[in-house]
Amino acid sequence: DALVALSKAMPKTELHLHIEGTFEPEQMFAIAQRNQVDLKYHSVDALKAAYQFTNLQDFLDLYYQGMSVLLHEVDFYDLTMAYLHKMHSENVVHVEIFFDPQGHLSRGVAFAEQVNGIHRALQDAKQQWGMTFKLIMSFLRHLSEESAFETLELAKPFLPLIDGVGLDSSEVGHPPEKFLRVFAACKQLGLKVTAHAGEEGPPEYVWQAIEQIGVDRIDHGNRALEDDKLIEEIKKRNLTLTVCPLSNLKLCVVTDMTEHPIKKMLSLGLQATVNSDDPAYFGGYMNDNYASLIRQTNINKEELLKLAKNGITGSWMDEETKTHHL
C-alpha cells in the first residue's frame, strides 16, 4: 500500500547491522567451497531449515558457524559489497556496520584481512553511490575483558578506519560492567561507544551501559520499557535506540509483530530507529523491517518519517553530512 511505498522510497540509514549477519546461504556455500572449508550443513535448504530460533543463543550458535568460512580479505570484501549493493537498491544512504574481530581472530584470521576487506567495500560504495558509512568493532561479551583488551591492541594500527566500538553476543550473564575498563580505554582513544543492552538482559544492564560505560547510543533497548526512571534517563541524555523489529520477532524478544513496542517507544518520546541486525538470518533487510511494521502495527505516516529522521540524527555522521542527508 501507500505507506509501504513511502517506506521504500524514503532515504534511510542502517545503524545496527552485523556484517557477518548478512551472510546469505548461497554466498556462504560459494565461499566455503572456494576456501575448502566444510560446513556442518550440506545444502542451502538444510541450512535455511535450521533458521528457527527460540532465543539469542540459538541464533548465535549458527551465526558463529556461518562466519567460519570467512578467511581472506576478499571474503570480507565480497560479503560487505553484496550487502551494500542491496542497501543501495533499498535507498539506504548511510550505514554503520559492526564486525566481530574476535570471531575471526580465534580462527587465525588476521585483523588486517577483516578490516581491510570490509573497509574497501565501504569506500567503493561511497565512491559509486555516495553512500556514507561508519565502521564499528564489537567485543564479544561472552569472552573476557582481557580478550577485549587484546583485540583493542590488535586494532590500534587500524584505528583510522574504525569509528567506534560495540558490545554484542550472549547478553544474560555478561553485563556491561564486565567491560568497564576496556570501554574507558576506547574512549581515551576517541572512539564512539555503543552496547547491546536490554535485548534479553534486564533494565539493570541498560543502566550500566549508560552510567558505567557512558554509551553514545543503545542497541535494542527493548527491556528499558520496564523501568520508568530508565525511560526518563534515556530521554534526558537523548540516546538513540537502534531497534530491530524482525530480529526481535525471530529471537522471540516479541511474541508477535503486532506486539512490537516501537510505536510505544515513539509515543514515550524515545529516539527509536529501524534496523535489520542480522538480515540473512532474520528474514529481511531494511525495507522488509519497515514493511513488517507497517503491515502488523498501525504505524502512521508521521511515525514512519520520524523513524527515518531519527536514523539520521542518531547516526554518528558529522553535522555537515547530517544536513546533507536530511
**CB-count exposure of residue 277 (10 Å: 0-12, 13-18, 19+):** buried
21 binds ligand ES4 (CB under 6 A): yes
Task: Tell me whether residue 196 is annotated as binding.
Answer: yes
Helix, coil or strand: residue 129: helix
Grid cell locating 104: 575471526
209, 211, 214, 217: CA torsion to nearest 10: 50
Task: Tell me whether residue 75 is annotated as binding.
Answer: no
Helix, coil or strand: residue 185: helix
168 binds ligand ES4 (CB under 6 A): yes
Grid cell locating 316: 554518528
Cβ of residue 162: shortest distance to ligand ES4, in angstroms? 17
* Rounded Cα gap, residues 29 and 27, in angstroms: 5
Judged by CB under 6 A, which of 169, 222, 240, 310 binds ligand ES4?
169
Task: Tell me whether residue 174 is annotated as binding.
Answer: no
Find, among 303, 275, 299, the residue nearest to 289 by Cα: 275
The H or E element that residue 136 is part of is strand 132-140
Cβ of residue 57: shortest distance to Zn ion, in angstroms? 14
Task: Tell me whether residue 277 is annotated as binding.
Answer: yes
56/265 with CB nearer ligand ES4: 56
**CB-count exposure of residue 256 (10 Å: 0-12, 13-18, 19+):** exposed
Task: Tell me whether residue 168 is annotated as binding.
Answer: no
Residue 233 annotated to the active site: no
16/325 with CB nearer ligand ES4: 16
Grid cell locating 177: 560492567
Q: Which does 56 bind (CB under 5 to 8 A by kind): Zn ion, ligand ES4, none?
A: ligand ES4
Which residues 6+ apart lie within 8 Å of 181 measured at CB? 145, 149
Task: Characterize the bridge pairing of strands 12-18 and 164-168.
Answer: unpaired
24 binds Zn ion (CB under 5 A): no
Residues from 244 through 263 that contact ligand ES4 (CB under 6 A): 247
Cβ(28)–Cβ(51) under 8 Å? no
18/178 with CB nearer ligand ES4: 18
241 binds ligand ES4 (CB under 6 A): no
Cβ of residue 10: shortest distance to ligand ES4, in angstroms? 25
Judged by CB under 5 A, which of 118, 277, 284, 311 binds Zn ion?
277
Catalytic residue among 14, 113, 199, 303: 199
Cβ(271)–Cβ(241) under 8 Å? yes
Grid cell locating 85: 549493493
277 binds ligand ES4 (CB under 6 A): yes
Judged by CB under 6 A, which of 104, 119, 192, 196 binds ligand ES4?
196
Instruction: Please give the annotated binding residues for Zn(2+), written as ranges.
Output: 16, 18, 196, 277
Residues contributing to the annotated binding site for substrate: 278
- Please identify every residue annotated as catalytic: 199
Known binding-site residues equal 16, 18, 196, 277-278
Chain residues that interact with ligand ES4, rule: CB under 6 A: 18, 21, 56, 63, 168-169, 196, 199, 247, 277-278
Applying CB under 5 A, which residues contact Zn ion?
A: 277
